[in-house]
Amino acid sequence: MNTGGHEGHTAAVVADDYDRATWRETYGRSAALRELAEELGARDAHAADLLADVFLAAYKTGPRLRGPEEMPASRLVQQRVVASLVESPDFAVLRRESAGDPYAAALTVLAQASALRRSLERAPDARDARDARRQEGRTPDPAGRAEAVPHNPGQPPPGQLPPRAPQAPQAPQAPQAPAAPGAPGAVRQVAAPPAPGEAREEAALVRAWGMDPGELERLPYDERARLAERLRTSRLARWAELIGRFRRMADGERARKVENTTGELVGVTLGDDLSRLIPSELAHLGLPELRAVFAARYAAGELMLYESQDERPRGRGAVIACVDTSHSMYEAGPGGVTREAWAKACALALLDQARHAGRDFVGILFSAADKVRVFRFPAGEPGTAGPGRVLDFAESFLGGGTSYQAPLSAAGELLEEEFAHAARTRGDIVMLTDDECEVTEEWMRGWRDAKRRLGFRVFGVAIGAPRAAEADSVLDALCDNLRSVEDLTDVHAAADLFRVI
């Protein structure tokens, strides 16, 4: 049997040129991988090839390993280390997340760093001695025939073990994973359970934040690693699950169609057709104190109605989320969810909504009159909606008091600019706030003129502030549709927004 005739095989994992090119590109982009290779290289001359094998074992869906008989003697430790790793059940679980994703596969390599260090610390001396003897022609030949080795008088004769030296008591060792069949003791411990699946955690965060996984995969490794760390340490990281629920709810609502409407639902319009009232308008009829308001809006033809596709004019304006970031938005409601977290989760879902509809999105953070920050995400410029920019928007918090005029004026100016440059009207503004404040009569007249000219709609969400949503409130006068949210664990309070925006 040939046990070492394939001197050209330097890799234990069978891979094609594409797989190898993926490894080289990932390795070139990752300072962490290069540092690990340099560190392990001091223990083993073939450390870089070992890392490539571990990467390919994690990257390939069904990695195939060469047997020991296919590898040269100088690569047997490498082969056995990789074989032991691949046969670990924990590694198989991790590979389900890393297969096909170079970044996740690189994280898997780094997660195995400690196990690889332990393996190479045990193996090099024995392998180096064997390689040296082989170079001198005194090791077993490829066919397995042993050659004579000169006897050192200070050592026991060949085949006889040296006397056992007394050993000091040792501290208990951590449990180790079982060795791969046939692996020598020097490499039996390589398949230690991997570190927690950083790639799996990152994937969950990416999905929650509404970022495109494909876009992340195109990022250089180090940039993506920095982004992953930022996702984990963001001020809103603890609310990733809430953000994810908002997005899933919005996806479901967007896919819904309304029965008994002509054509496909595409939005909301104003009118007096009672057969097409949206649910929140119908709810007003159930509140005695709002029935007079309902009647007045019905007489004026200003009720919010579902709009179907055959009524939809060409061109849609931007979706603008005005998010209150005054000090009171730090306040937590049921489940410990802060008003800010609920508002930002809703705004990020609206960003996702705008992307799907091919519409511009603008996030306006506001507090006091002199504190407004605008984040623009044009539909035709996907690069401006990169993960870092999304996080900048989500993490920013201005503090201070509350002014309605400043953010709404900024929103109106943006829609005016959009109309002047692209002749688009019918934008949507969503006001997310927990406060009630005044506006001047002069400003209100200009606001109403802009609404008539540009045809935009205003949706209001009073978060943990029922007074701001009452019929005589300033917010009610500003908005075409207004609702109050008090249970901040409930993402469905804003569900109809995503059916009509």
- Distance, CA of 501 to CA of 483 (rounded, Å): 15
The pairing of beta strand 428-433 with beta strand 319-324: parallel
The residue written with tokens 């340099």 in the block is 38
- Distance, CA of 33 to CA of 268 (rounded, Å): 53
- 270 contacts: CB under 8 Å, gap ≥ 6: 301, 302, 303, 304, 305, 480
The residue written with tokens 């308001």 in the block is 293
- Distance, CA of 387 to CA of 76 (rounded, Å): 44
Tokens of 100: 């096909």
pTM for this structure?
0.60
Residue-by-residue DSSP string for 154-200: TSPPTT-PPPPPP----PPPPP-PPPPTT--GGGTTTTPPPPP-HHH
Q: Is the dihedral of CA 420, 426, 427, 430 positive or negative?
A: positive
Q: Between 17-29 and 47-59, two packed helices, what is the crossing angle to 10 degrees?
A: 110
The beta strands (E) that lie in 247-302 are given as 265-271
The pairing of beta strand 372-377 with beta strand 428-433: unpaired
Backbone angles phi, psi at 264, to 5 degrees: -90, 135
The residue written with tokens 């009118």 in the block is 271
Which value, in Å, is the radius of gyration of the alpha carbons in the chain?
33
Query: Any idea how long the chain is?
Result: 501
Q: What is the full per-residue pLDDT of the chain (501 aa) written as tens digits?
A: 344 444 568 899 999 999 999 999 889 888 889 999 999 988 888 889 999 999 999 999 889 999 888 888 888 888 888 998 888 887 887 787 788 888 888 888 888 888 888 888 776 544 454 454 455 444 333 333 333 333 444 443 433 333 333 443 333 333 343 333 333 444 434 333 334 355 556 666 666 665 665 666 667 777 777 777 777 787 777 888 888 889 889 888 877 644 444 445 556 778 777 767 877 777 777 777 777 777 877 777 778 887 765 444 444 889 999 999 999 999 988 788 999 999 999 999 999 899 888 899 999 999 999 999 999 999 877 666 567 788 889 989 999 999 999 999 999 999 999 888 877 788 999 999 998 889 999 999 999 999 999 999 999 999 998 888 888 899 999 999 999 999 999 898 888 888 888
- Distance, CA of 408 to CA of 324 (rounded, Å): 11
456 by Cβ neighbours in 10 Å (0-12 / 13-18 / 19+) ranks as buried
Three-state SS at 428: strand
